Amino acid sequence: MLISFAESIVDSMLTQWIQSTYWLWPVLEITHFIGLTLLLGGLIVIDLRMAGFFRAIDPAATHKLLPAVILGFTLNLITGILFFYGDPMRYSINIGFQIKMVLVIIAGLNAAVYHFKVDPILQTMDRNLASPAIAKLVAFTSLGAWTGVLLLGRLIPYVGTG
């Protein structure tokens, strides 16, 4: 499915523009890095607090970091799509990219669990109480998935293709 999609866009105007604009790829890399910094910077604080660390921080206060996390994810989504369009055949068969996308899906499903199940608990939770098991599970799943996304993103240029 991914290869079929890549084949359908390989000659698109967007792909040609990305490949022919010499300054665009470095700008995308910088923007992707900034997005990753916002995403992971906020999530590390949120997830570690959810896991029971930093008890001096009110769990509800970590909610204020979510706009930065969402902005970071949005920047990474946009630049990631443009990276894929810029070299669709390389990305579509790259095992590092494929696993990275699976981890992004897992992280997204985990974020839905956070939003619907955990966040309502954290909004009213006493900071002195131990984090509930579901919060710890969501926190460690998030940290693991996003760490994997980060590492696999860096490995894409170096790992096998399929």
Domain count of the fold of the chain: 1
Q: Quick check: pTM over 0.85?
A: yes
The answer as to whether 161 is a domain residue is no
pLDDT tens, 32-67? 999 999 999 999 999 999 998 988 888 778 889 999
Asked if 116 contacts 31 with a C-beta cutoff of 8 angstroms, the reply is no
- Whether 136 and 52 have beta carbons less than 8 Å apart is answered as yes
Other beta carbons less than 10 A from residue 62's beta carbon: 21
In a domain, 160, yes or no: no
Residue 123 is predicted with a pLDDT of 77
Range of the domain at 39: 2-155
Residue 33 structure tokens: 């890095």
Q: Per-residue pLDDT tens for 94-146?
A: 999 999 999 999 999 999 999 999 888 877 777 777 888 999 999 999 999 99
Tell me if 162 is assigned to some domain.
no
Q: Is the pLDDT of residue 152 over 70?
A: yes
Q: How far apart are CA 9 and CA 4, in angstroms?
A: 9
